Chains A and B, each alone.
Chain A
Amino acid sequence: MPVAVTVENVFKRFRVRRNRPITLQESLHQWLRGHYAKSEVVWALRDVSFAVELGQVLGIIGHNGAGKSTLLRLLCGLGMPTSGTISRHYAVSGILELGGGFHPDLTGRQNLKTVGMLNGLAKAEVQERERHIIAFAELEKFIDQPVKTYSSGMYLRLAFAAAMEFETAVLIIDEVLAVGDERFQKKCLDRIARFRNAGNTLIITSHSTEQVQALCDQVLVLEEGQVVFQSDPQNAISFYHDLMQQRTDRRIAELGGESEPVPMITKQGARHGTQEASICSLHMYDKDGWVTHRVHSGDTLVIDIEIHMKPHLKDVALTLGIFTEAEVKCVESAIPSLQTALGFSAERYGVRCEIKALLLHAGNYFVNVGLYPTDWAYRYDFHWQMYPLVIEGQHDIGGIYTTGVLSVETQWTLKE
């Protein structure tokens, strides 16, 4: 396949000025007094090289501040690398930031016209495709309203639909698929599959490792501006998780003695994290409110998590999942911000999760729970296989054995 974009030894340096002079007077003043604004040099990208072929989907993962967005902007041709070269062999467009790309005072339709023309289409062609875009974005009612009145979900829908319809050979999407409801996300993923089957190239970043795994052919892991790993999604994602582990260890070392000793004795499983926020306890109750770790298949399960946050923390992210003994994920809830989602704060005691009908097959499971900073950069506290959960139920009914994860009703009869 022909190469769509080549990146060779790209470095990018930003000067972050503390006391950046904003006016001439300030900089003149500093110049006259003989000392300049102290500028800190930040290397956002260091010696990044890779190539993407046509028809490929490349994922870029890395924690916040690893250089993902800088890299994507350079790929789009916004700004120049400090050294190194980026060759774009085909037209590149992108959805880089929610809120950019459309003029807030113009209506959706007016913005579409501008964007279409920027993509090299004549006015008539733009009008032709406008209908498809509006239909895909499901914005028929709002298309003649100024974009500033749109919700972030509506905005994303318009941006995504436009990018797909005004197809360029290479499309770059930064993290935006995280917005929008699940149904629309599904629609987007289907559309992306079609986009790619048509021989186009996609470069995406995502916090959702599942999305990356499902979409990408190849994944780059960025860490502090460097490509530290490049491979198929499976290996890259596990590398990324190891990286998170290392970062947590580093953070523990940094915190040193400051972190008060939390009893880390565990009866089983393992516990890992900086303990800046910690899970003090996790209790499971059945439908009658009795503490238990045995629930009948299909019954209600209530999980109470007691959380303690250090006073300097404002917010935490949480994951709660049920896994089989072989570490197959049956279900997991991720809450990127307990504060926004539930109004949780340091004064609060904990959170409760109620699972209405636990349709898991009878067997042994574990509840894994984790607390993270809101950028998911490392772990505050992660409890792995510390809480066993036994689902009770029948394995065999009349000589028919069912296995697996899901509990479903099966009825076997003779075919007439």
Chain B
Amino acid sequence: MTHSLELIWHLIKRDFHLRYTGSALGVLWSVLVPLFHLSVLVFTFRNMVPVGIEDYPAFVYSALLPWTWFSSSLSSAGYLFFSHRDLVRRPLFSPWMLVVMNTASYLLTFMLSLPLLQLLLILYGRPIYWNVGALLLLMAIQAMLTTGLGFIIACWNVFYRDIAQLVSLLLSFLFFLTPIFYRPVSGGWYRELLTRHPMAFLIAGYRAVLFDGKAPGMDMLITSAFFSIAVCWLGYFIYRRLLPDVIDAL
């Protein structure tokens, strides 16, 4: 068990190394990319199409960070087994570690950006005492959701390369269906239908904790927790079923 953890930690470092060797800014990129994304959103929705929300950069940033963790993990999940083919084809390696490593690796970049969010809040003169327990709970739920989906995407993409394309399409669609740069609006059956997904629940939870300094809504939390556990189990189940074929196909 401790060895597995040590190994996953090693793989995370290896992943960072592979991702950033040869780039001058290195790990800084993992912080810079969401910041750039943030500035585009802030410029658009404060100066071009104003939505009129106070402390808007901090408001967006508090939701954009967990979203970036989610979306980058899922976009890189598709080619996970291909880019780590050397490990998948090693006798003593269990490929599930790659999926866990992928989630954990982007979780780390998420956590690297958190101090920046606090800095932003202080700049706006409203330092927030984060409820660390609630934050950890949210992260645990999201980690399960991401890992479960990661299993499915990583395995299916070995057989159908469309999956990775499809995932990036769905992610860009889901980005707009998640209250990241706006506050959730109620009313209208389609709004209710489309914005009631676990990621929206989770993002609302993060915003409550990180931006408003409140506790996340309990019912939302429980729903998304159950959903994430189910997805995680399903993902692992699919992985177990497909693994022999995945290895044959690689």
Q: Which residues of A contact B (CB under 8 A)?
A: 14, 22-25, 27, 76-80, 91-94, 96-97, 100-106, 110-111, 113-115, 117-120, 122-123, 168, 172
Residues of B contacting A105 with CB < 8 Å? Answer: 18, 21
Residue of B nearest to A22 (CB): B161
Contact (Cβ within 8 A) A78 B10: no
Partner of A114 from B10, B21, B161 at Cβ < 8 Å: B10
Q: Indicate if the CB atoms of B18 and A106 lie closer than 8 Å.
A: yes
B244 A122 Cβ-Cβ under 8 A: no
A110 touches B17 (CB 8 A): yes
Residue among A27, A78, A92 making CB contact with B89, cutoff 8 Å: A78
Chain B residues lying within 8 Å of A104, measured Cβ to Cβ, are 86
Q: Smallest distance from the beta carbon of B235 to chain A beta carbons, Å?
A: 19
Q: Kindly provide the distance from the CB of A337 to the nearest chain B CB, expressed in whole angstroms.
A: 27
For B86, the chain A residues whose CB sits under 8 A away are: 100-104, 111
Asked if residues B162 and A78 are in contact (CB atoms below 8 Å), the reply is no
Interface SS, A side: loop
B160 within 8 A of A: yes
- How distant is the Cα of A123 from the Cα of B85 in the complex, in angstroms? 22
Q: Give residues of chain B (121-169) contacting chain A, Cβ–Cβ below 8 Å.
A: 160-163, 166
Contact A110 B161 (CB under 8 A): no
Asked if B25 is at the interface (CB within 8 A of a chain A CB), the reply is no
Decide: A80 and B21 in contact? CB cutoff 8 A: no
B37 contacts partner chain A, Cβ-Cβ < 8 Å: no
Given known pairs A78-B247, A119-B92, the reply for A23 and B6 (CB within 8 Å) is: no
Task: Write out the residue numbers on chain B whose beta carbons fall within 8 Å of the beta carbon of A77.
Answer: 91
Given known contacts A27-B160, A100-B86, is B10 in contact with A113 (CB within 8 Å)? yes
Partner pick for A106 among B17, B162, B248, CB 8 A cutoff: B17
Chain B, residue nearest A76 (CB): B91
5 contacts between A and B (CB under 8 A): A24-B166, A101-B90, A106-B14, A120-B92, A123-B6
Also in contact, A78 and B6, with CB within 8 A (given A25-B162, A100-B85, A106-B18): no
Mostly, the B contact residues are helix
A102 to B93, CA, bound (A): 13
| Chain B residues within an 8 Å CB radius of A101 | 86, 89-90
Collect the chain A residues with CB atoms within 8 Å of residue B84's CB.
103
Contact B93 A118 (CB under 8 A): yes
Alpha-carbon distance A111/B87, docked complex (angstroms): 10
B92 touches A93 (CB 8 A): yes
For the complex, count residues of B whose C-beta is within 8 A of A: 26
| B70-110 at interface with A (beta carbon < 8 Å) | 84-87, 89-93
Q: Smallest Cβ distance from A128 to chain B, in angstroms? A: 16
Q: Is B161 in contact with A23, judged by CB distance below 8 angstroms?
A: yes
Task: Kindly report which residue of chain B lies nearest to residue A170, judged by CB atoms.
Answer: B91
Q: CA–CA, A244 to B249, complex, Å?
A: 31
Instruction: From A79, A92, A111, A123, name the one whose CB has the most chain B CB atoms within 10 angstroms.
Output: A79
A119 to B84, CA, bound (A): 17
A106 surroundings in chain B (CB, below 8 A): 14, 17-18
- Which chain A residues lie closer than 8 Å to B91 at the CB level? 76-78, 92-94, 172
Question: Of B14, B90, B93, B244, which is within 8 A of A79 by CB?
Answer: B244
In the assembled complex, which residues on chain A have CB atoms less than 8 Å from the CB atom of B247?
78-79
Q: How far is the CA of A314 from the CA of B92 in the complex (A)?
A: 40
Q: Contacts of B17 on A, CB cut-off 8 Å?
A: 106, 110
Residues facing A in B1-29 (CB within 8 A) are 3, 6-7, 10-11, 14, 17-18, 21
Instruction: Report the separation of the CA atoms of residues A78 and B85 in the bound assembly, to the nearest whole angstrom.
Output: 12
CB-based nearest B residue for A97: B89
Q: Assess whether A118 is in contact with B92, with CB atoms less than 8 Å apart.
A: yes
Closest to A111 in B: B86
In the complex, which residues of chain A have a beta carbon less than 8 angstroms from the beta carbon of B11?
114
Per-residue 0/1 for B210-250: is the Cβ within 8 Å of any A Cβ (1 yes, 0 no)?
A: 00000000000000000000000000000000001001100
Closest to A21 in B: B160
Residues of B within 8 A of A14 (CB): 248
Interface centre among A97, A101, A104, A120 (most CB of B within 10 A): A101
- Residues of chain B with a CB closer than 8 A to A80's CB: 244
The answer, among A25, A117, A168, for a CB contact under 8 Å with B6, is A117
Nearest A-chain residue to B97, judged by Cβ: A118
